[in-house]
Amino acid sequence: MAAPVPSPCAIVHYHEISLKRGNRPLFLRQLQDNIRRAIGDLGPARLAQLPGRIMLDLTGHPDPGAVRDRLCRVAGIANVALAERTGSSLDALRQAVGRAVTKRAFASFRITARRAFKSFPLTSVELNRALGSHVLALRPDCRVDLDHAELDVRVEVLPSEAFVYSERRPGAGGLPVGSSGTVAALLSGGIDSPVAAWRMMKRGCRVVFVHFHSVPYLPDTSQKKARELVARLTQWQYFSQLFLVPFGEIQREVVLSVPPPARVMIYRRLMVRIAERLARRAGAPALVTGDSLGQVASQTLHNLACIDDAAGLPILRPLIGMDKLEITAQAEALGTFEVSIEPDADCCTLFVPAHPGTRMSAEEAAAAERGLDVEALVGAGVEGATAESFDFPPGAGIFPARSSRATPRGSAPE
């Protein structure tokens, strides 16, 4: 095969996927699909699966920087670099390294070369030295610093081509969205639940969202926040579905027969039952919440167990061991924080007692629910739910055909 002419490309490395054995091709296929989707609207980019890495040929691409930024948000990617693709002869490598260091200000540098095959005539150490001397000849004002180099020029040599780059950005890590199945996240307008949903995306899940609102008892601010949060989170999973569940009437029913200290827990138990029905329709075998142990009364160990008692699906709580500062920092990095802190009154502020209980048992909850027609309330929530769809990049298309099952009866995705 002829050596490639020097051309621009992006090099994508993954970490966790490379630890998979038998299933690696499945994970890689999902990652490739997600990459194509994430950058599809930006311009032409041919994807090639190479040993241990994915290469995107960006020849003629109008905006390689935008491609890199999008790739940083693709779950499963450990790091991304815009690189020069060139031949794997020493001469070609010298020239590419020379180009990588021109027009850059640096006082110290190092070469980090890796050979993906052992028949290359030089060892990695010899290659580092040969290319390092070349840089020193070009830039005699600079010095080599292996530990604290200002510029790290990386060279990856494959049998018929090589990649040279000097800056790589961390990716999201984890597993590609879609490789771990679907989960249904209970999304409030707060800080925690969007972070919880995102953490599940990073574990390879596609997330469908369920938001409980109290329109017409409260303004529709919480729905607007939920939409904005889902729109932002959709950048990580390309299409999303949001179920908006009317909960105000259900809360009114609860207030009529449940004593104040038990109400929050009964609301929560009804929420998970409704979310469970919607989740099953969406093909999601688990629920997700933004609970963090001890954060508020409903999140003590006893009360979490009491909520679990009402659910027929596992409730995943990815933030359970995180404190508020850690969660807030993640929300800020994610870009959801600014939406979450917008003032609103969601259903959790409607009919909420001043002193909620912290130790409700499943038996006490069942007793408190005796005056309610739980099945009717859950049915009303499910039937009243409306579904909205989101896509990213905008216009790239909505759900795959499978998603039609996710639509609750009586409503249509927009």
Q: Which chain residues interact with ligand ATP by CB under 6 A?
A: 186-188, 190-193, 210-212, 289-291, 295-296, 346-348
The nearer residue to ligand ATP, 128 or 251, going by C-beta atoms, is 251
The nearer residue to Mg ion, 178 or 189, going by C-beta atoms, is 189
**Nearest CA among 4, 165, 189, 159 for reference residue 80:** 165
Return the bridge partners of 9, or none.
57, 83
Q: Is the distance from CB of 244 to CB of 223 less than 8 angstroms? A: yes
The nearer residue to ligand ATP, 64 or 318, going by C-beta atoms, is 318
First to last CA, the chain: 50
Binding-site partner at residue 186 among Mg ion, ligand ATP, none, CB < 5 to 8 Å by type: ligand ATP
Distance in Å, CB of 257 to ligand ATP, minimum: 21
- Looking at residues 191 to 220 of the shown chain, list those that interact with Mg ion (rule: CB under 5 A): 192
The nearer residue to Mg ion, 134 or 199, going by C-beta atoms, is 199
Q: Is the distance from CB of 21 to CB of 167 less than 8 angstroms? A: no
The nearer residue to Mg ion, 348 or 360, going by C-beta atoms, is 348
Question: How far apart are the C-alpha atoms of 92 and 89, rounded to whole Å?
Answer: 5
Q: Which residue has the tokens 């979450």?
A: 340
Binding-site partner at residue 12 among Mg ion, ligand ATP, none, CB < 5 to 8 Å by type: none
Binding-site partner at residue 84 among Mg ion, ligand ATP, none, CB < 5 to 8 Å by type: none
Label residue 393 exposed, middle or buried (CB < 10 Å: 0-12, 13-18, 19+).
Answer: middle
The nearer residue to ligand ATP, 128 or 298, going by C-beta atoms, is 298
Return the bridge partners of 167, or none.
none
Total residues contacting Mg ion by CB under 5 A comes to 1
Binding-site partner at residue 56 among Mg ion, ligand ATP, none, CB < 5 to 8 Å by type: none
Residue nearest to Mg ion (CB): 192
Distance in Å, CB of 262 to ligand ATP, minimum: 16
Q: Is the distance from CB of 250 to CB of 380 less than 8 angstroms? A: yes
Q: Which stretches of 238-344 are DSSP H helices?
A: 248-257, 260-281, 301-310, 324-334, 337-340
The nearer residue to ligand ATP, 86 or 193, going by C-beta atoms, is 193
Question: How far apart are the C-alpha atoms of 17 and 313, rounded to whole Å?
Answer: 27
Distance in Å, CB of 296 to ligand ATP, minimum: 5
- Here's the x/- map for Mg ion, 167-196, by CB under 5 A: it reads as -------------------------x----
Binding-site partner at residue 346 among ligand ATP, Mg ion, none, CB < 5 to 8 Å by type: ligand ATP
Neighbour count for residue 126 (Cβ, 10 Å)? 13
Residues 6+ away with beta carbon under 8 Å from 123: 115
Distance in Å, CB of 44 to ligand ATP, minimum: 40
Q: Which residue has the tokens 């002193």?
A: 355
Question: How far apart are the C-alpha atoms of 44 and 19, rounded to whole Å?
Answer: 30
Distance in Å, CB of 325 to ligand ATP, minimum: 14
- Report CA-CA distances (Å) from 336 to 169, 210, 300, 323: 21, 17, 26, 17
Binding-site partner at residue 188 among ligand ATP, Mg ion, none, CB < 5 to 8 Å by type: ligand ATP
Distance in Å, CB of 404 to ligand ATP, minimum: 24
Distance in Å, CB of 381 to ligand ATP, minimum: 11
Q: Which residue has the tokens 């009491």?
A: 306
Degrees to nearest 5, angle at CA 127 with 121 and 130: 115
Distance in Å, CB of 324 to Mg ion, minimum: 8
The nearer residue to Mg ion, 297 or 372, going by C-beta atoms, is 297
Binding site for Mg ion (CB under 5 A): 192
